[in-house]
Amino acid sequence: MIPNFGMGTFRLSGSSLTDLVSEAIEMGYSQIDTAQFYDNEADVGKALSQTQSDNVFVTTKVWYESLKYQQVLDSLKTSSDKLQRDCIDLALIHWPSPNDEVPLEETLDALAEARERGLIKHFGVSNFTVDLLQRAVDHAGAENIMTNQIEVHPFMQNRKVTEACEKLGVKVTAYLPLAKGAVMDNSTLKRIAVEHDASAAQVALAWELHKGYVAIPSTTKVSHLRSNYEAQKLRLTDENMADIDALDERDRLIDPDFAPHWD
């Protein structure tokens, strides 16, 4: 099973990231999320090799320009070397192939082969729409699609996709759970935070965890790393949850030109 809480590493790199990952593992973080595109797998791997990380679940992602069968296998071998892991816990298709240039089925078959070879333990998808997710499940089986990692935060709740994930039995992993820091300025989240003697960021994370999503916040500060981790203890009321549900504005923050046609 994928741990429900982890550390994201998007836009982080270098020795400072290595130090942060080491701190996270010492605190008890049980998942570290990275990607080939982040160009920081080696920095993460250094931390993994220097700490007691045997029980840490490591997720990486195959970039959309490397989705052909042999490219997937080669790139995962490279990721494995950089991460200093003989076997990566979870590999995701980072973005679907634009205009289906590489058929999704080919990439899924390559991921299944990577699992057979022991390069990875599990595979899944990221930034998949309802139709793409259904296609992945139809080809590989829902039991083999561990998660769909998508943008989810109080202002972008991605309901069509999260509902499809629940229906199909695919776990939702929420990236950008703090909306690039925007949650800290929201009056509703701040009000709920005061009620629970917490921070607005902790409230946003607790909301995601309460919904059963995997949360992977990132930060550059050790103090925030610890605060995020402590959010797992926060219990929101049904009224709190309803108030946060009402904040949805479909405010998507990540939308590159190669993105699929969103639901």
Let me know if 38 is a catalytic residue. yes
Q: How large a percentage of the chain has pLDDT more than 70?
A: 100
| Nearest-angstrom CA–CA distance, 52 and 91 | 22
Closest alpha carbon to 128 in 87, 175, 89: 175
Catalytic residue among 29, 38, 64, 213: 38
Residues 128-152 pLDDT 10s: 999 999 999 999 999 999 999 999 9
Six token digits for residue 98 = 């634009």
Residues 81-97 pLDDT 10s: 999 999 999 999 999 99
pLDDT of residue 226: 98
The DSSP call for residue 143 is G
pTM exceeds 0.95, yes or no: yes
Closest alpha carbon to 97 in 114, 110, 112: 110
94 labeled part of a ligand binding site: yes
Domains of the chain, start order: 7-177 (3.20.20.100)
pLDDT of residue 208: 98
pLDDT of residue 71: 98
